[in-house]
Amino acid sequence: MPLTFTIIAIVTIACAVAALSLRNLVHCALALSGTFVGLAGVYLQLGAQFVGLAQVLVYVGAVSILVVFAILLTRNDQSTDALFSKATFASIGVTVAVLGVLIWAIVKSPAVKKTLPPAPAPSVKSIGDSLMTNCVLPLEVMALLLTAALIGAVIIAMQNQSKTKMEDGESKMDKPSEPSSILHPPSSQGGSK
Amino acid sequence: MTEALDQIFVTLKHWLVSLCPAEFQVLASIVLSVAPILMVFPGLFALVTVIERKGLGRIQNRYGPNRVGPFGFLQFVADGIKALIKEDVVPRRADKVIHFLAPLALVLPCVVVYAVLPFGRNMTLTELDAGLLFFFAVGASTELAVFMAGWSSRNKYSLFGAMRAIAQMISYEIPLILSAVSVVMIAGSLSLPKIVAAQGTYGGWLPDWFVFTPWGLAGFLLFMIAASAESNRAPFDLPEGESEIIAGYYIEYSGFKFALFFLGEYLGLFAISGLAITLFLGGWNAPLESLAWIPSWAWFFTKLIALILLFIWTRGTLPRLRQDQLMNFAWKFMLPLTLINLVAAALWHYIPAGFTRWFMCGLMVVGPYCLLGRGIAGKDKTSKRVYRFAD
């Protein structure tokens, strides 16, 4: 067990460091998804199957694709800044301060001194049961939120579409132009249409 | 005797493990469980490439491979040797590391998903509590590999191909998962061996496979359509549409890396066919009680090969879709049907068995299919295509 944990930990941390220090943004995004996989490995090793698999499904399958697409669609330049600048050192200071405060707060908090209750058998069935009984209200709220987001995305996309329609004068977005060479053979005067 | 033949591989493994010294037994057990998967499925891949080329040749009225070995059946050996000794060309501007990693990142998940498939009675590598979730989670991570391949090649066609592949895989993943959810609702478990066990009884003249229920049949068809889109098979092979973007995301791959892409694609196809068998076609169960003496693993592989032949047949028959048709089909047709199918499965669970149940669920499956199909087809106002010069 410790051997697998060591391997997973080394890979995860190496990917995280790479995600911070690589200069090419796409490389960073890919290294970040490596970190997600490593985290999922840690969850699986701890016996939290559902969390681990949801981590892979959501973060590796969807979020990293989203990140990569966002990078591709927004910026094309590859920044050539030096790895270390004044801002880097300043941010290291801020990070260390925040981390210190967090660690201090965690160590001081009474939650640490509580003894852990015996770990329940984390089966997927029990998670599903509690999602459908105890936690049904949060689940429904989440579902409502996601549906609203989905409809909102569709409405935003539709507004863009109608705008382009008006600009173009005809509905090019609905239907791509038919392959003219097949349906309308060139007329005898030369030139198609 | 039947029992012994059914469990022959399991007993063989236990016997081999017992031969090992005690401290290596765990390791030996792991290796002996993994090694057959790594041998059988790439072997099946080699066989299927030949069958596919011969079958497509037959459909398209030509010979197909017929030079190497009897009837050309050793063609895969020649292809394998060729792929191994070909020069590996990497474009000068390509991102070397990612270009190298992409084929591995594609093949790895395709192999890992076999860990949860039940190949026969007591023949599941890991009986995960959330096996189905594992399958989909690992399967979803191939999208990133496709992106890596397309982006790192520094070729606009390969980037187009990767974009198409990702858009297609994300769109069809939703109907794929939703059609599997209906099975989970009825079987009450995410564990694949338990889903197989739920279909293991025989009632009347049909086995209790989920495909023989209205929602199961609809779910199976939707699942197979989404599966062929998910594994980039024709008619959904736009990501590699050779008439438009040459070969999609693996243009810039040659030699063994190209063979790895090919291998990954077929391993994914076998895995998803295996999942379709597990979810809808009763897994390793025999279709009739009187045929139960045939070993369970033989049934699994028979069904697997039948599904693969179905995929080859579809590939040879249907023309490729256009990109907008592909997206419309996923979002306007498949997604509503899978959602309605979920409700039909819920009804099936609550209405007591009998004619009413069949009628209600059948209506819920056929009705939306006809309405949606008519609705989408009616808007386009298609007319008969006229060939002015070909007559």
Q: Give the predicted TM-score (pTM) of the model.
A: 0.82
Where are any strands of DSSP class E within chain A? none
Would you state the pLDDT for residue A78? 57
Flag if A72 and B151 touch (Cβ within 8 Å): yes
Would you state the pLDDT for residue B275? 92
* Shortest alpha-carbon distance between residue A167 and chain B (Å): 21
Q: Identify the residue among A25, A43, A65 best suited for mutation to test binding to B, counting B beta carbons within 10 A and taking the highest.
A: A65
* Shortest alpha-carbon distance between residue A123 and chain B (Å): 7
Dihedral sign of CA atoms B353, B357, B358, B362 in order: negative
Q: Which residue in the set A50, A60, A183 is minimally distant from B144, CB to CB?
A: A60
* Shortest alpha-carbon distance between residue A75 and chain B (Å): 14
Q: What is the mean pLDDT of each run of 10 residues along chain A (193 residues)?
A: 85 90 84 90 84 86 85 67 71 92 88 70 76 88 91 80 56 47 48 43
Would you state the pLDDT for residue B305? 92
All residues of chain A having their beta carbon less than 8 Å from the beta carbon of residue B137 are: 53-54, 56-57, 60-61
* Side-chain half-sphere CA neighbours of B255 within 13 A: 8
Q: Output the six-digit token pair for B214.
A: 């209205």
For residue B247, count other CB atoms closer than 10 A to its CB. 17
All residues of chain B having their beta carbon less than 8 Å from the beta carbon of residue A50 are: 130, 133
All residues of chain A having their beta carbon less than 8 Å from the beta carbon of residue B324 are: 175-176
Flag if B166 and A125 touch (Cβ within 8 Å): no
Flag if A68 and B147 touch (Cβ within 8 Å): yes
Would you state the pLDDT for residue A193? 41
Chain A residues touching chain B at CB-CB below 8 Å: 24, 26-27, 30, 33, 37, 49-50, 53-54, 56-57, 60-62, 64-65, 68-69, 72, 123-125, 175-176, 182-183, 185
Q: B252: which DSSP letter? A: T
Would you state the pLDDT for residue A190? 47
Residue with tokens 């009884």: B201
Q: Which residues contact B359 (CB under 8 A, 6 or more apart)?
A: none
Q: Which residues contact B191 (CB under 8 A, 6 or more apart)?
A: B127, B128, B129, B130, B131, B132
Residue with tokens 């998967």: B37
Q: Output the six-digit token pair for A127.
A: 């998670």
Residue with tokens 């959810």: B181
Would you state the pLDDT for residue A192? 43
All residues of chain A having their beta carbon less than 8 Å from the beta carbon of residue B134 are: 49, 53
For residue B385, count other CB atoms closer than 10 A to its CB. 7
Q: B203: which DSSP letter? A: E
Flag if B144 and A26 touch (Cβ within 8 Å): no
Q: What is the mean pLDDT of each run of 10 residues along chain B (391 residues)?
A: 76 81 80 86 88 88 83 84 86 84 89 88 81 88 87 84 86 89 87 86 79 87 90 79 75 85 89 91 81 83 91 87 81 86 87 80 83 73 69 54
Q: Which residue in the set A24, A61, A65 is minimally distant from B137, CB to CB?
A: A61
CA gyration radius for chain B? Answer: 22
From the centroid of its chain, how far is CA B114?
11
What residues are paired with B207 via a beta bridge?
B202
Return the percent helix, strand and coil in chain B, to nearest 5.
Answer: 75, 0, 25
Whether residue B128 contacts residue B116, with contact meaning beta carbons closer than 8 Å, is answered with yes
Flag if B129 and A123 touch (Cβ within 8 Å): yes
Q: Which residue in the set A37, A62, A176 is minimally distant from B324, CB to CB?
A: A176
Flag if A65 and B170 touch (Cβ within 8 Å): yes
Q: Identify the residue among A1, A43, A53, A76 best suited for mutation to test binding to B, counting B beta carbons within 10 A and taking the highest.
A: A53
